[in-house]
């Protein structure tokens, strides 16, 4: 699970170095007060983009902000449609609504991510972008989705909130589409408390996003900031140096987090395989982040009973089954934009429902007591 398990002296050292180098907490400017040319957010962006193998990266205040800024950089028109998936966190759809765009939710398949066959059917003349989500560290069938989007000339944004460090083929998750977004909130693979990152293929998108996340500031080197040039309005989603410093320490730990998550997921999976469970499908080319281990049982009531049995033995589940109302669009009748689009929201995602209702998600930690696989196995065996 998250980088918070490994927060320690490295993060503290990074933070202290801000205060011993002038104490500037703003991401830019104040050069004369900074010692050792200390720009934490800038350094974090550079190292993150290098790690991901992407040309440009922009740090922001959250994964939700990352989605909002990514959409702003595409310069879409009010009412354009953006397709995302029915199983995601509310944030993905909120970012679309906040951008005055129309959200459309695509069913998920057995990967628990966007179903390419349904995506094809949802595309209209108004569709301008697709936000795929690498839910809980696993990708959708990206080759199929890329092919469809290419055919219809639709931009792909990857919501990589849960997929930081995973691969599809030789590419890191987040770098397969036009833009990739990440979250560093406290439950994510690496964390800055709150925070996010956006990676871009095109310089034009990066430049637009960079200005938009900073009230339109173009940071024109020919003029001081208070006389700065601008081509658009924007908002404030700037990351602080404090978050940037923690991000630098966390990024160094990412490979370690992934390594132990992969080992620990493997141990649990091997043990509970004996129960003849049907596991979530992982696309062949995907190396997942092993953030969670998900399997399907016969029905919703068995899923709930499994959770209860796990809980009684000190094991938590992650999102499924307990938090589906926050992660499944069927329940979002509080969003008037979705209600307008779907006459019967509750009955609009039957295919997704069949998977989501029966799924159990076990969180994978970096530090795991060796008894855990056995405890999980015994808790499930009682019910299944
Ligand atoms: C799929 C997805 N997208 C976006 C976000 C938003 O990230 P943040 O909490 O950093 O705003 C989350 C948060 O859990 C998420 O799960």
Cα–Cα distance, 56 to 347 (Å, whole number): 41
Within this chain, do residues 226 and 123 fall inside the same structural domain, yes or no?
yes
Residues 45 and 187 in one domain: yes
Residues 258 and 305 in one domain: yes
Summarised one tens digit per residue, pLDDT across range 286-328 is 999 999 999 999 999 999 999 999 999 999 999 999 999 999 9
pTM of the model: 0.98
Instruction: State yes or no: pLDDT of 275 exceeds 70.
Output: yes
Mean pLDDT of 228-240: 96
Kindly state whether residues 228 and 356 are assigned to the same domain. no
In CATH, what number is assigned to the domain containing residue 77? 3.40.640.10
The pick from 113, 157, 185 for probing ligand 1's pocket by mutation, whose C-beta has the most ligand atoms within 8 angstroms, reads 185
Atom of ligand 1 nearest to the CA of 188: 14
Full domain range(s) for residue 242 = 3-251
Could you write out the three-class secondary structure of 221-290?
CCCCHHHCCCCCCCCECECCHHHHHHHHHHHHHHHHHHHHHHHHHHHHHHHHHHHCCEECCCCCCEECCC
Q: How far is the CA of 63 from the centre of ligand 1 (A)?
A: 5
**Do 66 and 125 have their domain in common?**
yes
pLDDT at res. 222: 96
pLDDT at residue 125, as a whole number = 97
> What is the distance between the alpha carbons of residues 264 and 91, in angstroms, rounded to a whole number?
29
- Using the mean position of ligand 1's atoms as its centre, give its distance from the Cα of residue 243 in Å: 17
**Domain boundary, last residue among 227, 251, 275:** 251
- Among candidate residues 251, 277, 293, the one where a domain is terminated: 251
User: Count of domains in the chain?
Assistant: 2
In a shared domain, residues 28 and 115:
yes
pLDDT of residue 203: 98
Query: Under a CB-based contact definition with an 8 Å cutoff, are residues 48 and 250 in contact?
Result: no
- Does 118 lie in the same domain as 11? yes
- Ligand 1 centroid – CA 143 distance (Å): 24
- 225 and 245 in a single domain? The answer is yes
Tokens at residue 328, please? Answer: 């499944």
Contact 85 CB / ligand 1 (< 6 Å): no
Backbone angles phi, psi at 322, to 5 degrees: -75, -25
Query: Of 251, 282, 299, which marks where a domain is finished?
Result: 251
Question: Rounded to whole angstroms, how far apart are CA atoms 112 and 138?
Answer: 8
Six-digit token string for 22: 């002038």
Rounded Cα distance, 83 and 283, in Å:
21
User: Which candidate, 144, 142, 130, 136, places its Cα nearest to that of 160?
Assistant: 136
Burial class (CB in 10 A: 0-12, 13-18, 19+), 250: buried
Q: Are residues 218 and 266 in the same domain?
A: no
**Most ligand 1 atoms within 8 A of CB, residue of 183, 237, 291 to mutate:** 183
Measured distance CA(371)–CA(378) in Å, rounded: 11
Based on the fold, state whether residues 211 and 307 are members of the same structural domain.
Answer: no
Q: Which of 61, 91, 96, 250 is the pocket-test mutation for ligand 1 (most atoms within 8 Å of CB)?
A: 91
Cα dihedral angle (316, 322, 324, 325), rounded to 10 degrees? Answer: -130
What is the per-residue pLDDT for 1?
Answer: 60
Q: Is the CB of 88 under 6 A from ligand 1?
A: yes
Q: Which residue do the tokens 């990152």 mark?
A: 197
Gap between the Cα atoms of 176 and 229, Å rounded: 32
What b-and-e string marks burial along 79-112, b requiring 16 or more CB atoms within 10 Å of the CB?
ebbbbbbbbbbbbbbbbbbbbebbbbbbbbbebb
Mean per-residue pLDDT, 181-188: 97
Instruction: Using DSSP bridges, classify how beta strands 359-363 and 179-183 pair: parallel, antiparallel or unpaired.
Output: unpaired
Lay out the sheet containing 286-287: strands in order across: 171-172, 167-168, 286-287
Domain of 265, CATH number, reads 3.90.1150.10
The rounded Å distance from CA 133 to ligand 1 centre is 10
Residues 228 and 310 in one domain: no
Ligand 1 neighbourhood includes 357 CB (under 6 angstroms): no
The pick from 3, 112, 161, 186 for probing ligand 1's pocket by mutation, whose C-beta has the most ligand atoms within 8 angstroms, reads 161
Residues 136 and 211 grouped into a single domain = yes
**Residue 103 · residue 341 · CB < 8 Å:** yes
Paired tokens of 118: 């349904």
Q: Is the pLDDT of residue 2 over 80?
A: no
> Closest Cα partner for 53 from 249, 199, 208?
199
pLDDT score of 213 more than 70: yes
**141-176 burial by CB neighbour count: b if 16+ within 10 A, else e?**
bbebbbebbeeeebbbbbbbbbbbbbbbeebbbbbb
Please give the DSSP secondary-structure letter assigned to residue 313: T
- The minimum-distance atom of ligand 1 relative to the CA of 185 is 10
């Amino acid at each position: 699970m998250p980088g918070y398990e490994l927060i320690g002296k490295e993060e503290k050292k990074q933070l202290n170095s801000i205060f011993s180098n002038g104490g500037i907490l703003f991401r830019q400017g104040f050069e004369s007060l900074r010692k050792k040319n200390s720009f934490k957010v800038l350094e974090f962006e550079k190292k993150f983009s290098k790690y991901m193998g992407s040309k440009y990266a922009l740090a922001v205040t959250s994964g939700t902000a990352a989605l909002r800024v990514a959409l702003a950089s595409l310069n879409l028109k009010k009412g354009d449609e953006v397709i995302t998936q029915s199983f995601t966190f509310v944030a993905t759809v909120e970012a679309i609504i906040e951008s005055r765009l129309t959200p459309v939710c695509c069913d998920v398949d057995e990967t628990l991510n966007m179903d390419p066959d349904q995506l094809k059917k949802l595309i209209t003349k108004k569709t301008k972008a697709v936000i795929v989500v690498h839910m809980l560290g696993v990708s959708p069938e990206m080759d199929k989705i890329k092919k469809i989007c290419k055919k219809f000339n639709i931009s792909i944004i990857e919501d990589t909130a849960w997929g930081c460090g995973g691969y599809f083929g030789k590419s890191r998750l987040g770098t397969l589409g036009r833009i990739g977004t990440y979250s560093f909130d406290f439950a994510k693979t690496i964390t800055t408390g709150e925070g996010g990152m956006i990676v871009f293929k095109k310089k034009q998108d990066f430049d637009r996003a960079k200005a938009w996340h900073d009230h339109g500031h173009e940071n024109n080197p020919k003029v001081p900031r208070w006389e700065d040039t601008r081509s658009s309005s924007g908002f404030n989603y700037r990351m602080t140096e404090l978050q940037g410093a923690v991000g630098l320490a966390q990024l160094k730990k990412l490979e370690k987090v992934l390594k132990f998550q992969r080992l620990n997921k493997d141990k649990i999976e091997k043990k509970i395989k004996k129960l003849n469970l049907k596991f979530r499908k992982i696309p062949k080319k995907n190396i997942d982040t092993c953030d969670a281990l998900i399997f399907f049982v016969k029905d919703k009531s068995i899923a709930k009973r499994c959770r209860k049995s796990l809980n009684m033995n000190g094991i938590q589940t992650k999102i499924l089954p307990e938090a589906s109302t926050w992660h499944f669009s069927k329940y979002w009748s509080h969003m008037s934009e979705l209600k307008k689009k779907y006459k019967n929201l509750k009955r609009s995602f039957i295919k997704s429902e069949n998977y989501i209702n029966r799924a159990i998600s076990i969180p994978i930690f970096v530090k795991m007591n060796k008894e855990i696989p056995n405890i999980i196995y015994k808790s499930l065996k009682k019910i299944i």
